[in-house]
Structure formats: C-alpha cells, structure tokens
Amino acid sequence: MKIGCHVSISGGIAKSVIRAKNLGINTMQIFSKNSLTWKEKSYTPEEINNFQKNLIKYNINPIFVHASYLINLASPDEIIYQKSISAFIKEIKRTESLLKNLYQPYIIIHPGTHRGAGEEKGLNKIVSSLNLVLEEINILKLKTMILLENTSGSGTSLGYNFGQLRSIIENTDNKRKLGVCVDTCHAFAAGYNLTDEEGINKMIADLERLIGLERLKVIHLNDSKYPLGSRKDRHMHIGQGYIGEVGFRNIINHPFLRNLPFILETPKKNDEDDRKNISFIKKMRL
C-alpha cells in the first residue's frame, strides 16, 4: 500500500524525507517553497543530491509537489494572472530539478477561481494559462506532469466536478502532460456521497467516462468537517468527519483505487496526528 502525507520541508528539503521515514510512510507530498508567498526559492546541487539520496535510502516514492496556493490560473486580475503564470512555470522547473533522473515528477495544482468573472470565462482562462505553461514545458523538454485537483466548489473555485476538469483537459493542447488528483473531502463537499459503495462507484464511473482512469495518479485522503454537498473545504481526521470509517474502508480497498498512492492532508498539530491517521488507514486495509 502506498500511503503518505504532506510533509514539511522546514530546515532543509532533505529533512522532509527523514520526517517521512520517521512517520512510517512510503510516499509523500511537499511544497517546494513557502506556499503563502510569491518569493521564489532555488536549490543548490548539493541540496538536491542530499534530497535524492534520502529518497533512495528510505525508498520513498512517488513524490508529489503541491503548487503554491497563491497561484490562480483563472484570475481576471492581470497582475495576479501574470504572476501566477510565472510562478507556476518556476514551480514546475523546481519540481523537475528535485526529481530529475530519479522519479516521475508530479505537481498538483487547484485549477483556479474566477473571482466573479463567471465559470465559462474562468475555465477558458485556465486553458489559456495551461497552454502557455505547457508550451514552456515542451520547449524545455521537461517530464513533469501537472495534476489538476478537484475542488469543493466553495466560493468561485473551478474544477469541482469532473465535467469541468474534462473541459480543461480536452481544450488544452498538450493533454499527455495533464493528470488528475482526486481529493475525497472536496469530492464529498461537491456532492459525491463517498459514505457507501454506491457513491464511490458513481464517482469512479464518472471519472472513467469523463476523464479516464489512466489520468488519476493520486488520492488526497481527507474526511469532511461538513455534510455532503456543503461546498465547504474543511478537512477532518479519517473517520471523524461525515465520510466516516466505512467510507474510507471502501475507498482504500476499492479495486480501481487500492493501488494508487494515498496522501493525507488531515489536520495536524504535530506528527502524532499524522501517525494516528496513517495507523488507522493501515488497519483498515484488507
């Protein structure tokens, strides 16, 4: 079973791997920089080498980099839009440098928020943004795959259903560089009833029909603080929210999902919170 969580890079990116090892996980997600600032970051060859050595030593893979929350590929504000394009390209280059010649690089991003411009304009803006970014990836011959994460549909966020994600992917030029990350809390908040097998099968059927299961590369495993269809993005500890223990037992053991990497983004005051959630998931595995 590939089970991991979001791990801090505080004190140096190589230390994130040691934290992962101490948590008893075999895959992980990181930010490659401070996610709440536009300030960029670069890594020295020595830092990258130490990071990769630790990944090999502790056999932790795949690695998922989550893009900064400030990036908005649908922004109607031209200044934010240009900053977002520039920042995302830099995030991809950094992801590539961290994992080059080792593992397939993946970067996860929320599609964007239209900020009142309307869903159609927002979706078109995301497509335009991705075409600019993917053109740069193609020119530089980068291997990084962009994973679009489904959202809860709160506010003006886009990508809250698979139809919207399909529209983005189908209208983007370089489709082979695009995949999907499914977040269970977001899917539940957007209307998929993941508390029982019927609801889980419905989500998977929609994903297969609209996008294709081959594009699904990772599951963000999070319970929901709010009820089905709430459109609220509030994560809870596994089994302590509205999806519940039965729902997660069915998700992690589902034949179409069980071999995918599962990444926890549950609330965390300290590492013990992660350990409890990880242990709980492992005990439910059949």
Looking at residue 159, what is its pLDDT? Answer: 98
Domain 3-284 in CATH 3.30.1700.10: no
Domain residue spans of the chain: 3-284
Cβ atoms of residues 6 and 263 within 8 Å:
yes
Looking at residue 155, what is its pLDDT? Answer: 97
What are 57-103's pLDDT values in tens digits?
A: 999 999 999 999 999 999 999 999 999 999 999 999 999 999 999 99
Looking at residue 223, what is its pLDDT? Answer: 98
Looking at residue 286, what is its pLDDT? Answer: 95
Q: Is the pTM of this model over 0.95?
A: yes
CA–CA separation, 73 and 44 (whole Å):
29
Cβ atoms of residues 60 and 20 within 8 Å:
yes
Cβ atoms of residues 191 and 152 within 8 Å:
no
Task: Give the β-pairing of 157-158 and 112-113.
Answer: antiparallel
- Which ranges of the chain have pLDDT less than 70? none
